[in-house]
């Protein structure tokens, strides 16, 4: 009897089943992050007087709008660099190692930039569902960090299909754009965002 047969007879799952279970467990982590942020945002008592780098109220909203706009710019640069690395930008030659390094550095910068914005949003306002715009912003804000965790998982673990990384990155950029539209654009456009 072979070792594989003995393992199977002892109740151990075959390797393909282990890989599927392993992948499923990794997928639960982004869901847990999203659900945890949602729970915290709903359970937390908002502190409308909290500050962001010393700014409160409308000053904090203006600062978040500018930081959110910078975050969107970084996300768009990330998208362009990813398209370059995947060879989708025909006018550019093959991406060098420096392009990959720049992509990672900008990704880290964008993540770090998002943290004070998110911290102020969730502590000052929590997760609210009072209007379409606020609900879209709140829910997308929770989802953003789940999407970030999913992208990191796909990057770090090699067993995913080839479409998983572009999908994870695209979802992340889309979430940032939607957050920007529902908050920064809304603020900078005189408290109006068409459709929301």
- Give the residue extent of every domain in the chain: 28-188
Q: How many CB atoms lie within 10 A of CB 184?
A: 24
Q: Work out the pLDDT band at 161, boundaries 50, 70, 90.
A: confident
Q: How far apart are alpha carbons 125 and 119 in whole angstroms?
A: 10
Neighbours of 31 (CB within 10 A): 12
Residues 34-67 have pLDDT tens digits of: 999 999 999 999 999 999 999 999 999 999 999 9
pLDDT confidence bin for 15, thresholds 50/70/90: low
pLDDT at res. 6:
46
- Quick check: 188 pLDDT over 70? yes
SS3 of residue 49 by DSSP: coil
**pLDDT of 22:** 65
**Max CA pair span of the chain:** 75
Statement: residue 29 has pLDDT above 70 = yes
pTM of the model: 0.86
Residue 11 has pLDDT above 60, yes or no: no
Burial of 25 (0-12, 13-18, 19+ CB in 10 A): exposed
Return the minimum-mean-pLDDT range out of 44-53, 98-107, 115-124, 152-161. Answer: 152-161
Q: Which has more confidence, 155 or 108?
A: 108
Residue that has been written with the tokens 């203006």 in this structure:
62
Q: How far apart are the first and last CA of the chain?
A: 65
Residue with tokens 């929590």: 126
């Amino acid at each position: 009897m072979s070792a594989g047969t003995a393992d199977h007879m002892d109740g151990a799952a075959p390797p393909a089943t282990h890989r599927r279970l392993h992948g499923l467990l990794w997928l639960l982590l982004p869901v847990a992050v999203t659900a945890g942020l949602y729970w915290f945002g709903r359970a937390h008592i908002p502190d409308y007087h909290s500050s962001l780098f010393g700014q409160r109220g409308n000053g904090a909203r203006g600062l978040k709008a500018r930081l959110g706009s910078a975050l969107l710019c970084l996300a768009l640069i990330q998208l362009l660099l990813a398209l370059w690395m995947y060879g989708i930008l025909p006018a550019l030659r093959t991406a060098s190692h420096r392009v990959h390094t720049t992509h990672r550095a900008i990704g880290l910068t964008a993540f770090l930039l998002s943290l004070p914005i998110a911290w102020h949003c969730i502590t000052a306002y929590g997760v609210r569902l009072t209007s379409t715009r606020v609900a879209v912003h709140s829910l997308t804000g929770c989802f953003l960090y789940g999407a970030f965790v999913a992208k990191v998982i796909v990057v770090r673990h090699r067993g995913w299909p080839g479409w998983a990384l572009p999908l994870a990155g695209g979802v992340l950029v889309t979430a940032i754009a939607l957050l920007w539209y529902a908050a920064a654009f809304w603020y900078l456009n005189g408290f109006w965002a068409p459709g929301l």
